[in-house]
Chains A and B, each alone.
Chain A
Amino acid sequence: MKLEILKEIIKKKENKLEFAIVTNLLTGESEIFEEKKPLSKNFEKYNDQINRFYKSKKNGIVENTDIFIETYIRPIKVIIVGAVHIAQYLVDYAKSLNFEILIIDPRGYFASEQRFPSMNIINKWPDEAFKEIETNSNTALIALTHDPKIDDPALQHALKKKFYYIGALGSKKTHENRCQRLSDAGFSEDEINSIHGPIGIKLGGKSAPEIALSIVSQLVSETYKK
């Protein structure tokens, strides 16, 4: 692989673009493939096959050829509401899992650069913050403030946009009250039941890193269920 291709790949990954690396295993030539962009002469005769394979979002050798494709897809967006202690551990775990993390917290003293170095933090109320974030059914929400003023608007947004994972921190009692508020706000039982509350899988631990681990485990598990 040429060094300039390697550098180009790294740049595209940083910019969260979707693309593929195509390599001719017989000649050693490789190049970057992007949808709707023409391939070079070396690869153009495989154009249709490469396009078809790319749509499957898999890695592998294109059938009956010596072309290897590795596809890069956008990381899944995970929105954390509440720049709290647990969030600091969550951010660490999520980094190695390659989720794209955004933190929302209107309380400046929580959402500080010092507590979350080089993280994408939106220092606004959820209703305002969501105006700046593109979200869809491939987005996840982790609500950690257990303050209805902050969590509830975020949960409502996530339910309306049908996020694939919605989790909310809080005891059973807190969650019951939360469900009641959402019901009063007009959300159906099915919608409300789709919220993971109390959040996380049962690991048994109660410390912040253990709770963060239980949340991230649930998040990964739900990612593959979809």
Chain B
Amino acid sequence: MAFKRKETVIEAIDLNTITPEDGEKRITAGVKKYATNEANWSNADANTPYLGSIIGMGIESSNLADITMSIERQFLTKRTKRVPVSADGSEFKLEEGELGKLRILDGQDALAATPGLSIKMLMDLGHMPKNNAYLTKVVSFAYITTVGDGYKLSDALKKMVGKIEKLAGSERDEAVANLKAMTAQAKTYLDQLSDAAKLAASRQKTFAGDKAGYDSLSKELGVVTDKLKGLSASGDAAQIASLRAEEAEIRTRLKMSAAKLRVSEEVARQAGSRSAVEEAKVAEIKRILSETIAAAERC
């Protein structure tokens, strides 16, 4: 039986006939029912994160897939022709074909943390024409997460300052020690933010970890391949079949590892340079956090 969707019927629109700004508005409207922070959702722009409640729309992790599915439902694309990329046809890429339903494949939305980044994703995947003027207004994933961290730090510091004012004696002393540690952490964050190269270096660590994981898995595959080579003359059919299954599983894991590596590589690359809109976001969080640090140091 075909599954009957319960939501309102949405008339999907060809991505090639709308402006990025129109697409962005439709995307934001589409996630309304998942947003738990109404104020942030109402004032959302291209750079408002879907997740998080301080500056984000407050969408919960259980509705992450709904963001992507909502985008898929609203738009049509010409990239609908499935071209197999694996021998068994289980994996495919989408190429130009008849106008049809938009399909976002596993992992393609990993960096689409805001409506603007969702539009960028659609442009990168060739579903809509590239619009550089629009993209200059979009903050990269690396800076969305970094700036988001700053707001969280500032929020935590403010709450701690408020808490300390009500405490006395040894409780206050311990809370002040915590506040000092948080202030030091905030200063380190500000220092890192002062230089794009420093931020890139810290993101590079994640990339290096992912790269080591990928290399390790490649070695694991090498060992299984060697075992298969060594066993091929033995005629042990059961063992060969078991190793073939293990080899296929490692190849699948290797593809996943490569996909994850591409994400961390992209984030490390993005962190190394700043556009004007990113500079503005960085300046804003630096100002806010500096004020909070000053208030904390008065405690």
To the question of whether A and B form a pair in one complex, the answer is: no
Q: Which residues of B contact A (CB under 8 A)?
A: none
